[in-house]
Structure 1
Amino acid sequence: MAPSAAEVVASASSLFSKVTPNPTSDPAIYDTHHQKFTNDGLPTTTEAWLERARRVSEILAVDAAARDIENKSPRAEVALLKSSGLLKVLGPKAYGGGGQGWDVGYKAIREVAKGDGSIGMLLGYHLLWSTTANVVGTNEQKDRFQRTIMENNYFIGALTWSSGAVNPRDNDLKITDHGDHLIFDGQKHFNTGGVVSDLTVLEGVLEGTEDHIFAFVTTQQEGITFAHNWNNVGLRLTESGSVKISQVKVPWVNALGWDIVSRTPNPATLDIPFATLLLPTIQLVFSNFYLGIALGSLQFATKYTATSTRAWPFGGDNKTSATEEFYVLERYGNFFAHLRAAEVLADRAGEEVAGIYARYGESREISERERGEVAEWVASAKVVTTDESLRVTAGVFEVTWK
């Protein structure tokens, strides 16, 4: 017999009452790096930003496998992203940000993911959700939240889309109007980075309507309860477990893109193609950390093959080392060529996304056709990077025997 609705609710509630938080990693383990990044200051050129991302990737790669096994809540890793300045790469220079475009942001995500896929994913989610007000907020909200995030070096988590609020496993959060403020209630199976975030993006549907509302809230508050139940195979340090939202209060002035007098979506910010750019933007985030994971896997496998893989002893044309084996050379060459092509496609898609924001970030007057065309570039990149990343991360085991 199927469980009743009351039994389902009771079971979900018990999920949050029985868990204990994971141990957290200690930010002090990166003190030497924090100090160096602080002394060096923020990068000032595109290449310097990418070099900073490569440096963070190298730091993380040293013990990525061990940290994944330990599965500690990644406070140290987020602290490293903060001190490196990478959380600010897209932010306006006026408020202490890097002033770079999404094309650079995507490459930074990819670089970090080469060393640690989980932290590359966290960086990608932060960059997307930290710019939410730029896409769906009013000009005043865009300015206010960018200033707040940059000046405080905040890390942003989210209970939205694939990280929660519009995930198909869940209903939307319920939003009720209480005069000068809103109340968010509900539960999500997934959130990404929320446990270690400073601010969280909530999203839900206003009661009695079909209208969605995005809002930033402080993460550490009584109404946000994390289940600490993320124990996935892969990407374990993304802290993507369940979360309960109970009576979380949001002032109407923080309802992104809404007219607080009429209590209606502002057509100048929400009823236009520009407001839908969050979706293709985050899809390309996925493409780039997938690609970074594959590139990192190939780099690791190459070193392993050169130092540990034995030449095949039963071929009749025996080689002295695995790096002389025709099959091994063919596999690596094939993986390298396909990943290089995937990188070029991802970079082109990133340039398209960056160009859209550069041209229409102020006016928001992008046409439906232009929005559709950039989505096509993103979708193409997503298909290719997904296929190739899966092929390479599985295929390297064919050339890394003992």
Structure 2
Amino acid sequence: MTTMRQTAATEFAGRPGTAREWLDRARRVARLLAADAAERDRHPRPPHAEVRLLKDAGLVTLLGPKAHGGGGERWTTALRVCREVSRADGSIGQLLGYHYLWAWAVRFFGTEAQIAEQEAAYTRGGLFYGGAINPRDAHVVAVDEGDALRLDGRKSFASGGAVSDLTCLLAGLADGRPVFAAVASDAPGLRYNHDWDNMGQRLTESGSLSLSGVRVPWDAALGYTGKSARPLPYGSLSLLTLQLIMTNLYQGIAEGAMEAAAEYTRTTTRPWPYGGDVKESATEEWYILEAYGDFRSKLWATEALIDRVGEELSELLHAPRGAVTPQQRGEAAVRIAAAKQRIIKEGLEVCTRIFDVMGARSTASRHGFDRFWRNLRTHSLHDPVAYKQREVGRYALLGEPPEPTFYS
């Protein structure tokens, strides 16, 4: 990791000026992450150095306004950057994608004044977002104390919070209204419990978060003016954006699995000597060639669908907030659901079948090839894929787009 930091300090001078240059920078970041990805997965620690790398490379402010030193890029680029980083390390790809989502939360829910203030602050400071917004945890309550809100409770998941500068929180008022707010990650009353111990995405610091007397000024509650708020339909795009970030995360993990397996097959896998048709190299084995052809075809297909819907959603995200219609939202939602269900199915198959074409020695723990399956399997359980299939089915059969929920 020290080498990663030393390299980052000298390699990422200046700021990319085009989408292609941003993607090239993301690939360079991915190469640094890939060098010790298996080792970091075996011995996970809070990814402070990895987040520092994202900052040094400028990826953290890719979506930030150019006027404040940001990249001023579009969401199509941000999603591709997330995917490129995920090829090397799914955990860091997730943290970066979630950062983009939470940095955009002020646009989803905030007032024009809040947008101007918060985007300037995070972009100029190169600040990194974590978040604890799981809507299934209805245990964080917001109590009005005059000029501020007091937040108390617990969130089961706080991805990236412990290694972030700002944490995006979701709480509920007594009358049922939601409160979104970003607070300093070291604010008094926040306690990260460091209890993330899952089989995959080990470096996401996604453990639980306890809140005790966390104070949030009313003017920091996104969208509220005079203790009242008028939500825009644009805000419902936040859930679609999260789902498409996940979809790109899975595509990146699957691509990374295939690429790592291909390198191992080219350099290490031996041909099978007992088939009656002995080959000189594993790369001449017909069943190996057939398998990689299948992997590549399936991932090209999912990539094409993901990129198409990414362009569609990006148009909505960069449109005037008041211009988004329910029909546009519904059309994007159903295609995102379709893309997500396909990459989960195809990605898990690729991450499993790579061992068929690498051979028994590839299961040695030092290689860490199982991390690709563990990462994709772990995160793809975020919400049941069967409901995504049902959403697409209702649209295909009845012409009904998905209803906005916290997961669609």
Deviation, 1:31, is 2.3
TM-score (norm 2): 0.86
User: Paired residue for 2:208?
Assistant: 242
Q: Which one-letter code corresponds to 2:35 in the other structure?
A: V
Whether 1:32 and 2:1 are equivalent positions in the alignment is no
Pairing 1:3-402 to 2, within 5 Å after superposition: 29-37=4-12, 40-161=13-134, 166=135, 168=136, 170-207=137-174, 209-260=175-226, 263-265=227-229, 267=230, 270=231, 272-361=232-321, 364-401=322-359, 402=361
CA RMSD in angstroms comes to 1.2
Q: 1:182-214 CA deviation, whole Å, 9 max, x = no partner?
A: 01111112110000000001111112x111010
Q: Which one-letter code corresponds to 1:173 in the other structure?
A: V
User: How many residues are treated as equivalent by the alignment?
Assistant: 360
Q: Which one-letter code corresponds to 2:73 in the other structure?
A: Q
C-alpha distance in structure 1 between counterparts of 2:187 and 2:78, whole Å: 30
C-alpha distance in structure 2 between counterparts of 1:183 and 1:109, whole Å: 34
SS in 2 for 1:352: helix
Q: Which consecutive unaligned segments of at least 5 residues does structure 2 have?
A: 362-408
SS in 2 for 1:228: coil
User: Paired residue for 1:22?
Assistant: none
SS in 1 for 2:210: strand
Q: In terms of mean alpha carbon deviation, does 103-112 or 387-396 score higher?
A: 387-396
Q: Is the 8 A contact 2:271 2:279 kept in 1?
A: yes
Change (3 A) 1:368 1:172: farther
Deviation, 1:29, is 4.8
Q: Is the 8 A contact 1:352 1:377 kept in 2?
A: no
Runs of 4+ in 1 over 6 A off after TM superposition: none
User: Paired residue for 1:9?
Assistant: none
Q: Is the 8 A contact 2:4 2:32 kept in 1?
A: no
C-alpha distance in structure 1 between counterparts of 2:271 and 2:221, whole Å: 63
Q: Which one-letter code corresponds to 1:377 in the other structure?
A: R
C-alpha distance in structure 2 between counterparts of 1:172 and 1:298, whole Å: 41
Q: In terms of mean alpha carbon deviation, does 56-65 or 87-96 score higher?
A: 87-96
Q: Is the 8 A contact 1:155 1:198 kept in 2?
A: yes
Deviation, 1:27, is 6.5
Q: 1:145-185 CA deviation, whole Å, 9 max, x = no partner?
A: 10010000000000013xxxx1x3x3241000000000111
TM-score (norm 1): 0.87
Q: Is the 8 A contact 1:27 1:79 kept in 2?
A: no
Q: Which one-letter code corresponds to 2:11 in the other structure?
A: K
User: Paired residue for 2:401?
Assistant: none
Q: Is the 8 A contact 2:138 2:172 kept in 1?
A: no
SS in 2 for 1:71: coil
C-alpha distance in structure 1 between counterparts of 2:256 and 2:193, whole Å: 31
